[in-house]
Chains A and B, each alone.
Chain A
Amino acid sequence: MSGGTYLTDLSWPALAISAALILINGAISLALRLNLEKKLALAALRTVVQLLAVGYVLGWVFAVNRWYVVVAMMVLMTLVAGRAAGERSRWTYRQMRADSIVSVWGSSWLVAAIGLFVVLRVHPWYEPQYVIPILGMILGNTLTGVALGMERITGELQSRRDQIETLLAMGATRWEAFRPAAQAAVRAGMTPVINAMSVVGIVSLPGMMTGQVLAGQAPEAAIRYQIVIMFLISAASGLGTVSVVLLVYKRLFSAEHRFLYWRLTEH
């Protein structure tokens, strides 16, 4: 650890100054009559409250350092992410929430397990200092992939109903009829992580790396972590998108090669 200008802690007055900067946004909103002041204030307040709360919770989880507390925290994070992933679509079906949670859960935990136990080899296996932030980063991106995939696949199925039925009527299997919509949806779900991988380091410095560098780590070490994280994020996000699309397929196409379009209802 290097000495010198290493920042150990941010003082409260420093935080207050950065909070004052948000007032600039408020001023813009007022000047242009965007009517966003209330939303801005609320969002800023939520940032503070949520992060403070999570800080205390994490502090407690780290201090207790028991596997069951860590796992409970992981489950909670996963459920919140899974629920959020299913709330975006205009077209819904009955088991949509369950399918989003299953997709987010399965793909993020699988990839997190590989990352933590095979790549990073954390010890003990529930070491919260690694497990929680890494799962959190994976969840955040998987959530995006699953939400986009779900939104797109239900929308595509709805708008392509005529095409799908025409294909089925010509003797297409349910998979052949489903495939064009699936391709569009998986592409939509994977685009954000592909974009992120393409511009990382040039346009954006990922939060985790920035945090490590600010906290005094050598950039090379931080970068190696970041590469691992990027791949974990991409893998989990892609896996989540594909799995949610397949779950929708199972729900909306029957073994008799029928498209059960009436199960899709407008939100």
Chain B
Amino acid sequence: MPPAPSHPLLRAERIERRDPVAGAVLLHPVTLDLHAGEHLVMSGPSGAGKSVLMRSLALLDPLSGGVMSFQGRPVPACDVPLFRSRVAYLRQRPALLGGTVEDNLRLPFELKINAGRMYLRERALQLLEAAGKPAGFLAKEGRDLSGGEAQVMGLVRALQFDPDVLLLDEPTAALDPDSTAQVESLVLGWARERRAEVATVWISHDPAQGVRVGTRHCRMVAGRLSFTDATDADNAGAPREAA
């Protein structure tokens, strides 16, 4: 079913999260709409809850309150795998699943959610090229990958399914400038290709990167999110933090 145009791709309504063991507040209630075509960059000190929010957006951690909707509808438990295949979350260091880069790229095609889809080497090569990687990269052993190469592998693994939303948890924090440029050009190239249909969320400590990749910016401090762009001052997510 095509989404009604008025609906955001992803909507978080007063979602909050507490530590499941100690009960401490990790994320104060936050409301966030992510529309197609938006690229939101989140900054803030480490431990402030950026990853917590991002994992909550990916439905990886249980919410203590609030509702997550995708294309205008709350996500029922049985549809979580489908949701996650449309809203791709990439952790800081992508986990390798054994074998070569190509083995890693093929693996998700074995999942039930991707039944009927076929791994296409041309598509993988196309994405790798956008990241400045030669075809020989496919044959590289996963355990020999550098941090930057692993990140490119993780991105290509996700992008070959053309998700609607890409959640990137500090994708370039541990990378050198060259690798950072490769990762950025891969994501930006893919987003340009699908222009108004997709959205991305980046966690980044680098203000310059925020300017390069972001259309919207927010900041997380001690579990509270505030939007820092002037146009966002009346955003429902941060009435108290609004200047």
Chain B contact patch, size range: 20 to 34
B113 and A172 contacting across the interface, CB-CB below 8 Å? yes
Among A165, A257, A260, the residue within 8 A (CB) of B91 is A165
Interface residues as binary, B84-116 with A (CB distance below 8 Å gives 1, 0 otherwise): 110011110111010000000000100111100
Supposing A171-B82, A256-B80 touch, asked if A163 and B62 sit within 8 A by C-beta, the answer is no
Interface residues as binary, A146-170 with B (CB distance below 8 Å gives 1, 0 otherwise): 0000000000000000110111111
B58 and A256 contacting across the interface, CB-CB below 8 Å? no
| Residues in A whose Cβ lies below 8 Å from that of B88 | 169-170
B190 to chain A, nearest CB (A): 17
Q: A254 at interface (Cβ–Cβ under 8 A)? A: yes
B residues with CB within 8 A of A: 20-21, 58-62, 77, 80-82, 84-85, 88-91, 93-95, 97, 108, 111-114, 157-158
Chain B: which residue is nearest A163 at the CB level?
A: B95
| Residues in A whose Cβ lies below 8 Å from that of B62 | 254, 256, 258, 260
Question: How far is it, in angstroms, between the C-alpha of A170 and the C-alpha of B91 when the chains are bound?
Answer: 11
Number of A-B contacts (CB under 8 A): 71
B94 and A166 contacting across the interface, CB-CB below 8 Å? yes
| Residues in A whose Cβ lies below 8 Å from that of B108 | 170-172
A173 and B112 contacting across the interface, CB-CB below 8 Å? yes
Supposing A163-B95, A176-B112, A262-B20 touch, asked if A170 and B60 sit within 8 A by C-beta, the answer is no
Chain B: which residue is nearest A161 at the CB level?
A: B95
Q: A255 at interface (Cβ–Cβ under 8 A)? A: yes
Question: How far is it, in angstroms, between the C-alpha of A166 and the C-alpha of B157 when the chains are bound?
Answer: 11
Among A165, A255, A260, A262, the residue within 8 A (CB) of B95 is A165
| Residues in B whose Cβ lies below 8 Å from that of A257 | 59, 77, 80-81, 84
B81 and A173 contacting across the interface, CB-CB below 8 Å? yes
Question: How far is it, in angstroms, between the C-alpha of A260 and the C-alpha of B84 when the chains are bound?
Answer: 17
Supposing A165-B91, A170-B111 touch, asked if A258 and B61 sit within 8 A by C-beta, the answer is yes
B20 and A171 contacting across the interface, CB-CB below 8 Å? no
| Residues in A whose Cβ lies below 8 Å from that of B82 | 171
A168 and B60 contacting across the interface, CB-CB below 8 Å? yes
A96 to chain B, nearest CB (A): 16
| Residues in A whose Cβ lies below 8 Å from that of B157 | 170
Within 8 A of B (CB), among A223-255: 254-255
Most central of A171, A254, A259 by chain B CB within 10 Å: A171
Question: How far is it, in angstroms, between the C-alpha of A163 and the C-alpha of B81 when the chains are bound?
Answer: 16
